Amino acid sequence: MNIPISYLNRKRLISKEYATINKSMLKLNPSNLYRLFSLSLYRSNWYNVKMRLKDLAKFTGEKESALKKFNTDIKGIVSIKEYYLPTVHPIYTIRRNRYNLPDLETDFITLSKGFTQVDAPIKVKGYYIKLLLIAEDDIITLSNAKVGTLLRMNKDTVQSYNVDLQKLDLLQMQPNGVKLTPDNLLLSNDIAKPKLVWIENSQNPLPNITLKSKN
C-alpha cells in the first residue's frame, strides 16, 4: 500500500507551558485526570488536540494498553470526533481522534507543565490534582476518611498517597488536615486563556444566481 510520505513523517507535537483543569473534572479517577492534564498540554488555541493514544501513553510513561478505556471514560467531559487521513490506497484509511477540550469554567486551576517532571506514579499525581481542586488557599481541613468520601477513594489509599506526596515535598501533614506545597507548579489563573470559538459567516459569499432556460 502507498501512504503519502507527509503522513509518515508526522509533525512533532509541541506542548504548552501549562494546562487548566476544571473542578467538574473531579469525577475522573486519578490516573485519567492526570492523563487528561497531559493531553491538555498539547491543545490548540481552539482547545483541540490531535494525538494518538500511543503518543499519550509515551508521554505519561505507560503502556498503550493501560489507556484502552481512556476515551470512553472521558467522553462525558471531552468531545471526541473521528477523522481520517487521506491516502492513495483505494480501501485503506488512517483513522485518528480529535479531542475538543471543555472551555474554562468558574472553578479551575492552572498547572505548570513542570508537574509532568514529578517522579511519581500517575495515580499519585492525579490524586494531587484532585487535592489542588478541593483545597482552599492550599489547605484541606478534612480527615483522610472525609477526603476519601469526597474523592470516592479509600481512606487508606488517601493516607498512602499523602505519604508519597510528603516525600516529594508537595504536601505537609497537619493535625487537622494537610497543607499543599506546589510552589511554582500551581500558577495564577490570570494567565489562562479561554478557547477560541470559530464563528461561521452567516452571509453567503457567493452571489445569488438564477438560471433561466431559453424558450
Distance between the two ends of the chain, CA-based, in angstroms? 54
pLDDT at 184: 94
Provide the whole-model pTM. 0.84
Q: What's the confidence (pLDDT) of residue 4?
A: 45
Q: What is the pLDDT of residue 6?
A: 43
Report d(CA 212, CA 171) in Å as an integer: 78
pLDDT tens-place values along the chain, 215 residues long:
344 444 434 456 789 999 999 999 999 999 999 999 999 999 999 999 999 999 999 999 999 999 999 999 999 999 999 877 666 655 666 677 899 999 999 999 999 999 999 999 999 999 999 999 999 999 999 999 999 999 999 999 999 999 999 999 999 999 999 999 999 999 999 999 999 987 655 555 555 544 454 54
pLDDT at residue number 97: 86
* Whole-number pLDDT of residue 83: 74
Task: Parse the chain into domains and list their residue ranges.
Answer: 16-191
pLDDT at 13: 74
What confidence score (pLDDT) does residue 82 get? 80
Please report how many Cα atoms fall inside a 13 Å half-sphere around the Cα of residue 151, on the Cβ side: 32
The predicted structure's pLDDT at residue 197: 82
d(CA 101, CA 60) in angstroms, rounded, equals 18
CA distances to 10, 53, 80, 101, 105 from 72, in Å: 26, 12, 10, 15, 22
User: What pLDDT does 58 receive?
Assistant: 95
Q: Beta-carbon neighbour count of residue 32 at 10 Å?
A: 20
Whole-number pLDDT of residue 86: 65
